[in-house]
Amino acid sequence: MGFELKAQAPDNGLVMQAAKYMKALRVQAEKEGCSGARLLIVTGQHDAAFEDIVQDLARKYSVPTSWLLYRVTIDLIEPK
pLDDT, residue 61, reads 92
pLDDT, residue 31, reads 95
Strands (E), the chain: 2-6, 39-43, 65-69
Task: Specify the number of domains making up the chain.
Answer: 1
16 belongs to a structural domain:
yes
Q: Which amino acid is present at 68?
A: L
Residue 55 class from Cβ within 10 Å (0-12 exposed, 13-18 middle, 19+ buried)? middle
Please give the model's pTM, rounded to 2 decimal places.
Answer: 0.72
37 belongs to a structural domain:
yes
Question: Which residue range(s) make up the domain with 54?
Answer: 2-69
pLDDT tens for the chain, 80 residues: list them. Answer: 656 666 666 677 888 888 999 999 999 999 999 988 999 888 888 888 889 999 999 999 999 999 888 888 999 999 98
80 belongs to a structural domain:
no
Sign of CA dihedral 39, 42, 48, 50: negative
